[in-house]
Structure 1
Amino acid sequence: MKLFDVYPLFDINIVRGKGCHVWDAKGEEYLDLYGGHAVISIGHAHPHYVEAIAKQVATLGFYSNSVINKLQQDVADRLGAISGYDDYQLFLINSGAEANENALKLASFHTGRTRVVSFAKAFHGRTSLAVEVTDNPKIIAPINDNGHVTYLPLNDTEAMKAELAKGDVCAVIIEGIQGVGGIQVPTDEFMQALRRACDDYGTVLILDEIQSGYGRSGKFFAHQYAGIRPDMITVAKGIGNGFPMGGVLISTKFKPVYGQLGTTFGGNHLACAAAIAVLDVMKEEGLVENAAKVGAYLLEELKGFPAIKEVRGRGLMIGLEFAEPIKELRSRLLFEQKVFTGVSGTNVIRLLPPLCLSMSEADDFLSRLHKVIG
């Protein structure tokens, strides 16, 4: 059987990782400034994480959600404490797209409405509702194109208010920082106005923190720079440091009903062990604070490169926009300088390293980048 060929692949077979470094099958070492799409939060093969998963899988890897799983409450307690959302509820699933699906479903149950506001360049996943609120017609199949969504320009307060004033919007879904869209940052003022407008018109505010959350921005959630509290927050990627897991943090205005939501694998014992280990390491090693410090340093230094048209982001979620397409530049970084980076569109390089990136590793990256672009 052949693999379904939907991924353009680099001819590199990564077989091992440690911290912010990975090695291929030939023994070549690479500096990882991408973390597998912002998934690696605490670093590759962290010993505490490895030990926690090994111990759990040797004890019990999985049982169904029809019985008590105290590990789920442990995740909820730790996540509530570190994020400042200990008064919210937690529903655990398997991925970011699934988190957004469930958040949108809850919003519709709550309001009885079906229309959603999303934003230009948004990316929220590839499943039914998640892909419909994603601003990319190329990946929205006809069966998903159901006319539920209005896309608005990001940071356009007047357009947002006018749309919500129609009184029929079920939910607004917005990324804390747009990732696939090119590291576009909502202004604090826009986020504050959005929160007020959602309150005024009975609209649910969903913050997609799947890529921008879990400490990546230098705060636990990127929206916390604006001092707002959304009705729901969706998380995934960094939650399990590579183990597939997602979640929805849910305000107490939503009352759970038996059978309303469900999942086979979500919140399983092994996933919870991974999530608990991640939160342990984040707290003990101060990784949110490290992301803020090292990220601020990188942002400032990168602004000194004349070849870069614009530097955007917060913490260790950074976009480098160039005047010309960056395909060759990214290739040279990878094959000549042995640095993994991401991309957004044709002109933006994305940096999403593990949150344990050190100052010396940041300087190492800057040195390698300098060799490519001067």
Structure 2
Amino acid sequence: MELFNVYSLYPVEPVRGRGNFVYDAAGTEYLDLYGGHAVISIGHAQEDYVRAVGEQVARLGFYSNSVENSLQQELGERLGRLSGYDDYRLFLCNSGAEANENALKLASFHTGRAKVLAFAKAFHGRTSGAVAATDNPAISAPFNRTENVEFVPLGDIAAVREKLSTGLFAAVIVEGIQGVAGIHCPSDDFLRELRAVATETGTQLILDEIQSGYGRTGRFFAHQQAGIRPDLITMAKGMGNGFPIGGVLVAPHFEARPGMLGTTFGGNHLACAAAIAVLEVIGRDRLVENATAVGDYLLAELRRIDAVKEVRGRGLMIGIEIDGSGAEFRRRLLFDHHVFTGGAGASTVRLLPALTLTRELADRFLEAFKKNLQ
């Protein structure tokens, strides 16, 4: 049986990894500055993570959410302490798209309203509600298109106010930093104003931190730079360092009713063991602080390169705008210099490395990047 071919694949297959590197079957070493779409947060094959997952699968790999699972409670307590949201509650699921689906449902349940406001160039996932709030017709089937979702430009608070003042919107959903769009950061002032307008109109503010969360930007969540507290926060990506897990942080004012949300695999024993290990390493090794230090260094050095048109981002979530084809530039970085990077749009190189990236490895990338410009 052939695979259903929906991916554009590079002709390279990583078969093992260690830290910030992956290796193919021939032993060729590649510096991984993309982390498999921001998923690898504490490094490939991190020893404590491997041990925690192995020990858990040897005890109990899975049972359903029809019984108690103390690992879920431990994960919630650790996440609350490290993120600063210990007064919120946690709903566990399997992916970022599923996290956004459940956040949108919670907002609609809570308000009794149906409409959602999202932003131009937003990406929130490929499942039904998440893709409806995603500004990309190419991935939205006719089935997904709905009049209940409207879009305004990111940063246009007047347009937001005009929409939300109708009292029809259950939620406004915004990314901490727009990732797929090419690393576009909403300003701190805009996020503060968005919080205020949502509060005034009874609209639930959803912060999609699926790509920008878990320490990537130098704060645990990107929106914390603006000093705001959303009603719902969605997470996934780096949460499990490769093991599929997602979650929604739910503010205290939401009512939990039996049966309103559910999942078979969400919050399973293996997923929780992986996620607990990730939080342990992030806290112990001060990886949020490392993302700030190494990210600031990378951003500053990239901005010194005359041939680069623009550099955007925070911490270790960086978009580099170049002249010419971004896809061809990334291909040469991969095959000529053995560096994995990501893309966004026609001419953006996207960096989403593990939070363990060192200054020395950043210099190794900068050297390859400059050679690739020649």
TM-score in terms of structure 2 length = 0.99
Cα displacement (A) at 1:148:
1.3
Q: Which residue of structure 2 aligns with residue 105 of structure 1?
A: 105
Tell me the alpha carbon deviations over residues 236-281 of structure 1, each in whole angstroms, 9 at most, x when there is no partner.
Answer: 0000000000000000110100000000000000000000000000
Residue 293 of structure 1 aligns to which amino acid in structure 2?
A
Q: Which residue of structure 1 aligns with residue 49 of structure 2?
A: 49
Distance 2:199 2:284 in 1: 37
Tell me the alpha carbon deviations over residues 324-359 of structure 1, each in whole angstroms, 9 at most, x when there is no partner.
Answer: 221221111000000000000111110000000001
Counterpart check, 1:223 vs 2:223: yes
Residue 32 of structure 1 aligns to which amino acid in structure 2?
D
Partner-residue secondary structure (3-state), 2:337: coil
Q: Which residue of structure 1 aligns with residue 158 of structure 2?
A: 158
Distance 1:235 1:372 in 2: 34
Query: What is the total number of aligned residue pairs between the two structures?
Result: 374
Cα displacement (A) at 1:323:
3.2
Distance 1:20 1:59 in 2: 30
Gaps of 5+ in 2: none
Partner-residue secondary structure (3-state), 1:180: coil
Residue 293 of structure 2 aligns to which amino acid in structure 1?
K
Q: Which residue of structure 1 aligns with residue 319 of structure 2?
A: 319
Provide runs of 4+ in structure 1 moved above 4 Å: none
Residue 141 of structure 1 aligns to which amino acid in structure 2?
A
Distance 1:326 1:58 in 2: 44
Tell me the alpha carbon deviations over residues 48-96 of structure 1, each in whole angstroms, 9 at most, x when there is no partner.
Answer: 0000000000000000111110000000000000000000000000000
Partner-residue secondary structure (3-state), 1:50: helix
Partner-residue secondary structure (3-state), 1:336: helix
Distance 2:190 2:76 in 1: 30
Cα displacement (A) at 1:160:
1.1
Q: Which residue of structure 2 aligns with residue 257 of structure 1?
A: 257
Distance 1:247 1:231 in 2: 14
Q: Which residue of structure 2 aligns with residue 364 of structure 1?
A: 364
Counterpart check, 1:30 vs 2:30: yes
Q: Which residue of structure 2 aligns with residue 310 of structure 1?
A: 310
Distance 2:24 2:120 in 1: 37
Q: Which residue of structure 2 aligns with residue 175 of structure 1?
A: 175
Distance 1:323 1:102 in 2: 40
Distance 2:324 2:114 in 1: 41
Partner-residue secondary structure (3-state), 2:138: helix
Percent identity of equivalent pairs = 63
Residue 63 of structure 1 aligns to which amino acid in structure 2?
Y
Distance 1:263 1:100 in 2: 14
Counterpart check, 1:301 vs 2:286: no
TM-score in terms of structure 1 length = 0.99
Q: Which residue of structure 2 aligns with residue 137 of structure 1?
A: 137
Partner-residue secondary structure (3-state), 2:31: strand
Aligned alpha-carbon RMSD (Å): 0.6
Distance 1:37 1:319 in 2: 13
Distance 2:238 2:327 in 1: 26
Distance 1:302 1:161 in 2: 37
Distance 1:187 1:149 in 2: 23
Partner-residue secondary structure (3-state), 2:44: coil
Distance 1:287 1:363 in 2: 18
Cα displacement (A) at 1:319:
0.2
Once the two structures are superposed, the pairs formed by residues 233-244 of structure 1 within 5 Å of their partners are 233-244=233-244
Q: Which residue of structure 1 aligns with residue 213 of structure 2?
A: 213
Q: Which residue of structure 2 aligns with residue 5 of structure 1?
A: 5
Distance 1:329 1:307 in 2: 13
Gaps of 5+ in 1: none
Q: Which residue of structure 2 aligns with residue 270 of structure 1?
A: 270
Cα displacement (A) at 1:145:
0.7
Partner-residue secondary structure (3-state), 2:293: helix
Residue 161 of structure 1 aligns to which amino acid in structure 2?
R
Residue 197 of structure 1 aligns to which amino acid in structure 2?
V
Residue 145 of structure 1 aligns to which amino acid in structure 2?
R
Distance 1:174 1:248 in 2: 14
Q: Which residue of structure 2 aligns with residue 69 of structure 1?
A: 69
CA change 1:323–1:163 in 2 (3 A) is farther
